[in-house]
Structure 1
Amino acid sequence: MSSLGFNPYTALMTPRAVDAAKPAATPEAAGSKIAEGVADFRTALQQAEQTAINTAVSGADPHAMVEALTNAEMMLETVVTIRDKVVEAYQELLRMPV
């Protein structure tokens, strides 16, 4: 799992120190972080698919296939959780009185 460079559990559980002297992140920086996350997600799914194909066709290591598919599943669950939180926040905004 460590070969991908992105582990959703590590990313979610790592405490982040906030530096008071450092200015808040700009919208461009937030957009680039989202783009990086989407790119990591896409890479993990493509790697899992390629590993599954290699295992089916050439009889490659089945443990590598299971590891890649498990990592892709964890990333998918993370993306779905984030999507659900965004939808929930949007619904809360719609319920606010004007």
Structure 2
Amino acid sequence: MFTSINAANAYSAARSAVQPGAPAGPTPIQKIGEAAEEFTAQMAQVDAVSTGAMTGKTETHQLVQTIAEAELALETVVAIRDKVVEAYQEILRMPV
């Protein structure tokens, strides 16, 4: 059952989504940029840990853990890239 209070609450919640010029949160481009920065930081961490392991400043189990995390991050990035390429190819196949 709809009441005026429920309608007012729903309107207040949806107002930010339709209000021009006032984004409710980060845009998809900003989210992609943040993900790329996190990936770059992960790869830099792997580089630092591997250098530390070669010089004897980092323990081997930390190196193995960091490499496993980097492998997971790389697999995720490759999967996202594959989906983007697949979507692009699908768009190219669309009739105009």
Structure 1-normalised TM-score? 0.71
**Which of 84, 88, 93 is equivalent to 1:95?**
93
Offset at 1:29? 1.2
Task: Give structure 1 stretches of 5+ with no counterpart.
Answer: 1-19
TM-score normalised according to structure 2 size: 0.73
User: Quick one: distance in 1 between partners of 2:81 and 2:56?
Assistant: 37
Aligned to 2:45: 47
Out of 75, 79, 83, the residue aligned to residue 77 of structure 1 is 75
Residue by residue over 1:70-95, the C-alpha shift from the partner in whole angstroms, topping out at 9 and shown as x without a partner, is: 11110000000000000000100110
User: Does 1 or 2 have the higher relative contact order (CA < 8 Å, sep 6+)?
Assistant: 1
Q: CA deviation at 1:59?
A: 4.6
- For 1:23 and 1:67, the matched residues in 2 are separated by 41
Name the CA distance, whole Å, in 1 between partners of 2:87 and 2:46: 32
Say how many residue pairs are matched. Answer: 78
User: Which residue of 1 is the match for residue 56 of structure 2?
Assistant: 58
Q: Unpaired runs of 5+ in structure 2?
A: 1-12
**Which SS does the other structure have where 1:97 is aligned?**
coil
Paired with 1:77 and 1:92, the residues of 2 have a C-alpha distance of: 22
* Deviation beyond 3 Å, 4+ runs, structure 1: none
What SS is found at the alignment partner of 1:60? Answer: coil
Identity rate of aligned residues, in percent?
Answer: 41
What CA distance in whole angstroms lies between the structure 2 residues aligned with 1:89 and 1:38? 20
